[in-house]
Structure 1
Amino acid sequence: MGRYFRRKLLIYGVTFVIAVSINFAVPRLMPGDPVARMLSRNKVANPESSEAMRAYFDNVFGFDVPLWQQYLNYWAALFKGDLGVSVYAFPASVSSVIAGALPYTLALLLPAILLSWIVGNSLGAMAARNKWLDNGVLPVGYVFTAVPYMWLAILLAWVAGVILGWFPVAGGYSFALTPTFSWVFIVDLVHHWFLPFLSLFIVALGGWAIGMRNLVIYELESDYANYLQALGAPRRLVRRYAFRNAMLPQITGLAVALGMVVGGALVTEVVFAYPGLGSLLLSAINNQDFFLLQGILLFIVIGVLVFNFLADVVYVLVDPRTRLGLEGGQS
C-alpha cells in the first residue's frame, strides 16, 4: 500500500503542477488590463501622474517583468504562502480577502453536500428495494436534479422571503449587527444561511438519490448477487453487499463535490448576495483581478486533489478487492 500511495502522490503532484500552471495562464488570457481599470476608477487627469501610477502598480503586481519571470515569481511566492495583492480590494492581500469569504462558503456547502449525500443515498438504497417508495423517489429525484440552482434559489427567495416573509433574501447577516460570538448574531447568521443552504441541498439530493438507486439495482442484478441467492443466502445479506459495492462510485462523487466548493455555490450566492467565495469569484472576474482569481481557483484545485486522495484512502479501507489487488501487485 505504501507503493500504491507513493504512486498516487506522484500523480497528484504532477496534476497540481499542471493545474497551477493553467491557473496562472487563464487570467492572463482574459481580455483587458487590470491596472488600466484601476486607473480609470481613480480618474487621474494628469498624464504624467497617470504614467507614474501605472509604473507603480505594474511594479506592485509584478507586471513590469516578462511573462516567464512572472510565472517563476508566482511559484516562488506560492511556496512562501504569498498569493499576492488583490486588484479588486487593493491594498488588501488575496489571502485576507479569501479568508473573509471562506467561512461563509464552507458553512454553506459542507452541510449541504454531506447531508444531501447521506439522505440521498439512504433514500436511493431504500427505493431500489421498495416499489412504492421507488415510484415516489424517482420522479421527485428527477425533478430536483433538473431544477437549475438559480431558478430554485429565486423561487425560494420569492416564496419564503418575499411572500411569506419567513427568511431574509440577501446578505450573510443583518447590516445592523456587528459580527460577534453572541446568540443574537448566531441566530441571525443561521436565519440568512438557511435559504441558500436549502436550495443547494434540494438540487444535490435528487442526484444522489437517483444515482444510488440505479447503482443498487445494478448490483442486485449482477452475477455475484444471483449466485448468493442461488446458494440460499439471506436477502438482507445480498442487499448489504450490493449497498457496499454501490457506495464506491458515490464516494468518488462525494470527493469531487467536496472539492468543487465554489462551482455549485456561485449562482446561489449571487442570487442571495451571500458573501462567500462564489460571489467573490464573480467580483474577481468582473474586475479582472488576476491574483484573487488565481487564489480562489488554487483553493478549488487543492480541494479537489485533497478530497480525491482521501477518497483513494477510503477505497482501500472499504473495498477488500483493492487491498487484495495491492497485495497481489506486490507479490
Structure 2
Amino acid sequence: MRYIVSRLGFYILAFLGAVIINFFLPRMMPGDPIQSFLGRLAQTGGQITPEMIASLEALYGYSANAPLFEQFTSYLFSILAGDWGTSTRFFQPVMDVLSRGMLWTLLLVGSYILVSYTITTLTGIYVAWKRGTWVDSIITVGSVIISSIPAVVMALLIYFLFASDLGWFPTGYGYNPDLDPEASFKFIGSVAYHLALPLLSMVLLGMGGVMGMRSNMINQLGEDFIVMGWAKGVKDKKVMLQYGARNAILPMITTFAMSVGSIFAGSLIIEIIFNYPGLGQVMFQGMLARDYPLIQGYLLIMTIMVLGCNFVADCLLFILDPRLRSQLD
C-alpha cells in the first residue's frame, strides 16, 4: 500500500506540473483568441464595442492586460471546480464539446488497444518460439517495415484504396446519418463499419510491438526455470504460455503505459484523415480558431489519461510481479 500511495503522490505532482505547462503553452502561441473571434465577427458585419470585449474576456477567462499569475490562479481554481471554460469556436462549455468527441476517441483507442496488443502479444510469443525459422524472418521483417511507415502515409493509403477508390468503406463520420443512435444491431454494425478503416490504420502502425514481445520472450526462454521445465518433461505449450509468456508480458505493461500519449497523438491524425468525429477533429478546429479553452481542455484530458494509465500500470505490476513486492517488504 505504501508503494501505491507514493506512486499516487508522484502522479499528482506530475499533474500539477502538466497544468502549469497546459496554461502557458497556448499563450506562447501567436495570436489572441479574443481578437480572432472579433475578427470573425467583424467579417459578418457585427458591431464591436469596449463593453463587448470586456464581456468576452470575462466569459472566456482571458485578458491580454491581466497579469499571467492572476490568469493562472483563476484557471487553476476553475479546473478544480469543474469549469473548464467556454469554447471560442463552438460557443459552448468546453466539457460539452469535448464529451461529444471523447466517446468516439475512446471507442477507437480502446478497440485499438484490445485488438493490437492481443495480436502483437500472441504473434510475438509465437515468433519467439519459432525463432530462426522462415516464419520468424517473414513476420519480424514485415512488422518492422509496416510499423515504420508514417501514420499520415499509412492512413492516406488505406483511405484512398479502400474508401475513395474501391468504395468498400465510408469516407467519414462515425455511423450512417440516416440511423438514430440506439442499442440495435443495425446501429452497432454501422458504427463498426465506420470504425474499420481508422482501426486498421492504427493496428498496422502498432505492429512494431511484435518485436518488443519477441525480444522479451526470447530473454525468458534463456532463464533457468524454462530449462528446468523442459528437463522435467513439461509440455512445450505449457512452457511457452505459463512459464515464458507469463513473465514476458510484464514489461509490455510498462511499454503500453508509456505509449499511451503516442497512441492518442496517432489517433488525432487518423481521425482528421478519416473525418472521424473524435477529439482529433475537435482539436484541429480549435487550433485553427486559436481556441485556448478548448486546446487547454484537450491537453488536460490527454494528461489525465496518460497519467491514469501509468498509475494503473504501476498497480498491475505491483500485483502481478512478486519480485517487486518482495523488494518493497
Q: TM-score scaled by structure 1?
A: 0.89
Q: Which of 187, 190, 196 pairs up with 2:189? A: 187
Residues 54-74 of structure 1 show CA distances to partners (whole Å, capped at 9, x for unaligned) of 222112112233211111111
What is the TM-score with the length of structure 2 in the denominator? 0.90
Question: Which one-letter code corresponds to 1:166 in the other structure?
Answer: W
SS of aligned partner of 2:175: coil
Kept in 1: contact 2:42–2:48 (CA 8 A):
no
Q: Which residue of 2 aligns with 1:21?
A: 20
Aligned-pair CA distance for 1:160: 1.4
Equivalent residue pairs, number: 323
Q: Is the 8 A contact 2:318 2:324 kept in 1?
A: yes
Looking at structure 2, the residues matched to 261 and 86 of structure 1 have their Cα atoms a distance apart, in angstroms, of 25
Distance 1:278 1:255 in 2: 21
Q: CA deviation at 1:51?
A: 3.1
CA distance 1:244–1:40, shift in 2 (3 Å) = same
Q: Tell me the equivalent position of 1:216.
A: 217
Give the CA RMSD over aligned residues.
2.4
1:127 equivalent in structure 2: 127
> Which among 253, 256, 264 is matched to residue 254 of structure 1?
256
2-structure distance, mates of 1:169, 1:121:
31
Comparing 279-288 with 227-236, which one deviates more in the overlay?
Answer: 227-236
Which residue is 2:70 aligned to? 69
- Asked if the contact 2:61/2:85 (under 8 Å) is kept, the reply is no
Q: How far off is 1:183 after superposition? A: 4.2
1:263 maps to what in 2? 265
Please tell me whether the aligned partners of residues 151 and 269 of structure 2 are also in contact (alpha carbons under 8 angstroms). Answer: yes
Structure 1 spans left out of the alignment, 5+ residues: none
- 1:138 aligns to what? 140
Please tell me the residue identity of whatever aligns with 2:18: A
Task: Determine the C-alpha separation between the residues in 1 that align with 2:171 and 2:319.
Answer: 43
- Map Cα deviations across residues 261-320 of structure 1 (whole Å, 9 max, x no partner): 531111111111111011211222111111111111111111111111111111112111
Q: Tell me how far 1:260 sits from its aligned partner.
A: 5.3
Q: Contact 1:138–1:210 at 8 Å: present in 2 too? A: yes
2:7 equivalent in structure 1: 8
Q: Is 176-185 or 93-102 further displaced after alignment?
A: 176-185
Q: 1:47 to 1:171 in 2, by over 3 A?
A: closer
Separation (CA, whole Å) in 1 of partners of 2:255 and 2:34:
40
3-state SS in 2 of match to 1:275: coil
1-structure distance, mates of 2:235, 2:228: 9
1:284/1:233 Cα in 2 relative to 1: closer, same or farther (>3 Å)? farther
Structure 2 regions of 5+ residues with no counterpart? none
Identity %: 33
1:59 match: 58
Distance 1:270 1:47 in 2: 31
Partner of 1:286: 288
Distance of 1:31 and 1:51 partners within structure 2: 23
Q: Does 1:97 align with 2:97?
A: yes
Task: Give the secondary structure class of the aligned counterpart of 1:43.
Answer: helix
2:106 is aligned to 106
Q: Which amino acid aligns with 1:287?
A: A
Q: CA 1:87 to 1:47, structure 2 compared with 1: closer, same or farther past 3 Å?
A: closer
Change (3 A) 1:135 1:70: same
What residue in structure 2 maps to residue 155 of structure 1?
A: 157
Q: CA deviation at 1:202?
A: 1.6
- Relative to 1, partners in 2 of residues 1:232 and 1:148: Cα closer, same or farther, differing over 3 Å? same
State the alpha-carbon separation in 2 of the partners of residues 194 and 286 from structure 1.
28
More divergent stretch after superposition (172-181 vs 155-164): 172-181
What is the distance in 2 between the residues matched to 1:285 and 1:46?
24
